[in-house]
Amino acid sequence: MAHVAAPPASKPPAPAKRHRPSRRITPVTASNVFWLAAGYGLWASVTTRHEHGVTGYNVLYGCVAGIVFGLVYLALRQITPALPRVRRALVWGVFWGGSMGYLHSLSNPTILWSVFLGVFFAAGAFLMAVYRFHTREVPTDAHL
């Protein structure tokens, strides 16, 4: 009579891995951030000229504005995936509204007009972000 080996103890199935968006900065992300920051800095630089010639101050101001914009944008890209969808949309709305309101304020309009324009852009960015997050993501936060 042949002896049959007992089957090996089966391992419990591995839990399903949940897909999480990558928080690494890829070359495409870095390129996009660079061009967004360069455009923002150029716009800030040109707006501070006030129809005068280009000075070192304008160039420096544009570089600093672009670097700050790019760093804040990268920080938000790293932090916001942990937030619920509506709060994430609110953060992006405030970021874009504040950015556009600030750029408009450089052209010396009244402060109320800059605030209105910033709130208008913030509302538009918030609505677009809410729509995108609710239609493109798997719901993980059922209460929102």
Tens digits of residue pLDDT in 19-72: 555 567 788 888 899 999 999 999 999 988 877 888 889 999 999 999 999 999
| pLDDT at res. 137 | 75
Q: How confident is the model at residue 144 (pLDDT cuts 50, 70, 90)?
A: low
Note the pLDDT tens digit of each residue in 90-123: 999 999 999 999 999 998 888 999 999 999 999 9
Task: Compute φ and ψ for 76, nearest 5 degrees.
Answer: -65, -35
CA distance 117 to 109: 11
Q: pTM of the prediction? A: 0.75
- Nearby residues of 70 by Cβ (< 8 Å), 6 or more positions away: 33, 34, 36, 37, 40
Q: How confident is the model at residue 7 (pLDDT cuts 50, 70, 90)?
A: low
| pLDDT at res. 28 | 85
**Residue 36, Ramachandran bin (φ over 0: left; ψ between -120 and 50: alpha; else beta):** alpha
CA distance 67 to 61: 10
